[in-house]
Amino acid sequence: MASLSAERQSNYEMLRRLIAAKVSIVYVVSWEEERVLDTLRDVAAKAFASPVPFFTWSVTEGVSLEGVEDPETREPLAALDHVLSRKGSALYAFKDLHAHFGDARVVRRLRDIYQALKAVYKTIFLVGPRLVLPPDVEKDVAVVDFALPTLVEIDEIFHSVAVAFPKATIAMNDDERAEFLKSLAGLTADEVRSALTRLFMSRKQIDMGSSDLLQEEKRQIVRKSGILDFISSHVRYEELGGLENLKEWLKLREHYFSSEARNAGLPMPKGVLFTGISGCGKSLCVQAIAAAWHMPLLRLDMNLVFSGAAGTPEAALGTAVRTAESVAPSILWVDEIETAIVGTGRAGGGADTRIFSTFLTWMQEKKSFVFVAATANEIDALPPELLRKGRFDEIFFVDLPTLDERQEIFAVHLAKRGIDPRGLEILSLAQTTMGWSGAEIEQCVVSGIYEAYGQRRALDMSDLYKATSRMVPLSTTMAERIKQIKRWADTRAVKASRGGEP
């Protein structure tokens, strides 16, 4: 517990250090404006030899000191002038100043402030949920993330809400309570409070079963972010034909996210990268992980990131990462990650690379329970830094299925459509379909079923043979390309399949 209370001090400490270092302008990225302001107020009152005056500003209140507002300073320019002209040390917190960045004078004044405050103990904090900065001042502003409530703080909130509902019974032992609190980790203090209040209002008894309700809360948060899709996956490992190496690897890590694993000092899993030939089950694997690990699956829409609809690509990616962290433990699914790098025809290729390296840095340093599952088809487009040891826990190569795997895939897709595979010569089908992908095998089963249905009779081998004879698999039309991919993967990735003849 000692480390947790230390962690609790971390926002306070971080802010104190910035002020002590005479940083002029700090951008605090947080959804929790009140919590940021409370912490700043605390720092101003206690962190230094004598208390430092703490001013807040908003467009409705103007500059305000301990509740006393100055209506003359409602205009952002007047407020910034207040910062410039006031003598002595002070701290300022500006709410939503970003709404005024369209005004060139505001931007100019910020730059003046940057110069003027360098030498004095005066710091201005810009507080907002997303990072919005005009390029002109980017270099002058220190950007920090405000950490979300720790388990100790969540426990305090739980306690304060529970006190308000004296009739409710709390049926959890200490371990269960710890697990329960963890399911709230990642929410802001306000979100924790409102989720718990809703829970206490709707239940007489609070127990482990109550965490379902919290899951729904998280779904809402993801939806609001607008950049991630919350995917409910029910894909079971049995629906995944072959890929035994991969399945074994995943099963070993099923409990990586439990508190026992943390206590045992196991390293935090970072994620996996699935590379390989298209249609061989990479996306399916990601869905199977989410279902097996009972974690929310959040698909990042790369095209949306680059479209500008969710702000600059940097801001959009930042929102995505923070949202994934806020509902952690979660799986962040970056499908076809190469689209982020190749950036075909997109303007400013340099920007793409920069965004990507921001993402890599986040992956490298992340301490949150976010497991990244990325897939890539165009593997030779991937930059070497992505493949460096330490980024992903493992890079898997998902190859065209082997003979045994093709039998399994046929069986999976027949069974899925209510056909007992035991009545069919699966081995023979697998032999005829050498070089076919899982997607192509599925396609073959589907067209066989249509064929039989067209003649109003049960599916038999002739339908399936007919379907196989009509299809030319990708591995034939793209033989050269597939050879290249295999050669690439030979030295860089672990095979997802156990092997065997092709």
Ligand X SMILES: Nc1ncnc2c1ncn2[C@@H]1O[C@H](COP(=O)(O)OP(=O)(O)O)[C@@H](O)[C@H]1O
Distances (CA, A) of 35 to 149, 405, 453: 10, 54, 63
For the bound state, the minimum distance from the C-beta of residue 359 to ligand X, rounded and expressed in Å, comes to: 20
* Residue 409 near which of ligand X, Mg ion, none (CB within 5-8 Å, type-dependent): ligand X
Cβ distance to ligand X smaller for residue 83 or 449: 449
Element (H, E) at 247: helix 244-252
The residue whose two tokens read 């990072």 is 131
**What is the spatial distance between Cα 87 and Cα 117, in angstroms, rounded to a whole number?**
11
Helix (H, G, I), strand (E, B) or coil at 17: helix
**What is the spatial distance between Cα 54 and Cα 52, in angstroms, rounded to a whole number?**
6
Position of minimal CB gap to Mg ion? 283
* Residue 149 near which of ligand X, Mg ion, none (CB within 5-8 Å, type-dependent): none
Cβ distance to ligand X smaller for residue 58 or 283: 283
Q: Is the peptide bond before 383 cis (omega within 30 degrees of 0)?
A: no
* Residue 194 near which of Mg ion, ligand X, none (CB within 5-8 Å, type-dependent): none
* Residue 448 near which of Mg ion, ligand X, none (CB within 5-8 Å, type-dependent): none
Element (H, E) at 477: helix 474-477
* Two structure tokens written together for 235: 């894909």
Cβ distance to ligand X smaller for residue 332 or 412: 412
Cβ distance to ligand X smaller for residue 57 or 274: 274
Backbone angles phi, psi at 166, to 5 degrees: -65, -20
Cβ distance to ligand X smaller for residue 225 or 437: 437
Position of minimal CB gap to ligand X? 438
Question: Checking DSSP bridges between strand 54-58 and strand 62-65, what pairing results, if any?
Answer: antiparallel
- Residues 26-35, buried b or exposed e (16+ Cβ, 10 A)? bbbbbbbbeb
For the bound state, the minimum distance from the C-beta of residue 387 to ligand X, rounded and expressed in Å, comes to: 18
Q: Evaluate whether 118 touches 22 at the Cβ level (below 8 Å).
A: yes
For the bound state, the minimum distance from the C-beta of residue 354 to ligand X, rounded and expressed in Å, comes to: 27
For the bound state, the minimum distance from the C-beta of residue 409 to ligand X, rounded and expressed in Å, comes to: 5
* Residue 280 near which of ligand X, Mg ion, none (CB within 5-8 Å, type-dependent): ligand X
For the bound state, the minimum distance from the C-beta of residue 286 to ligand X, rounded and expressed in Å, comes to: 8
For the bound state, the minimum distance from the C-beta of residue 123 to ligand X, rounded and expressed in Å, comes to: 49
For the bound state, the minimum distance from the C-beta of residue 254 to ligand X, rounded and expressed in Å, comes to: 20
Cβ distance to ligand X smaller for residue 97 or 284: 284
Please list every residue from 263 through 292 that binds Mg ion, using CB under 5 A: 282-283
**What is the spatial distance between Cα 442 and Cα 473, in angstroms, rounded to a whole number?**
12
For the bound state, the minimum distance from the C-beta of residue 482 to ligand X, rounded and expressed in Å, comes to: 13
* Residue 191 near which of ligand X, Mg ion, none (CB within 5-8 Å, type-dependent): none
Distances (CA, A) of 277 to 10, 283, 336, 376: 45, 11, 12, 9
Cβ distance to Mg ion smaller for residue 283 or 497: 283
Q: Evaluate whether 217 touches 224 at the Cβ level (below 8 Å).
A: no
339 binds Mg ion (CB under 5 A): no
Element (H, E) at 8: helix 2-8
Q: Evaluate whether 82 touches 76 at the Cβ level (below 8 Å).
A: no
Cβ distance to ligand X smaller for residue 288 or 341: 288
List of residues contacting ligand X (CB under 6 A): 240-243, 278-284, 375, 398, 409, 412, 438-439, 442
Give the footprint of Mg ion on this chain (CB under 5 A): 282-283
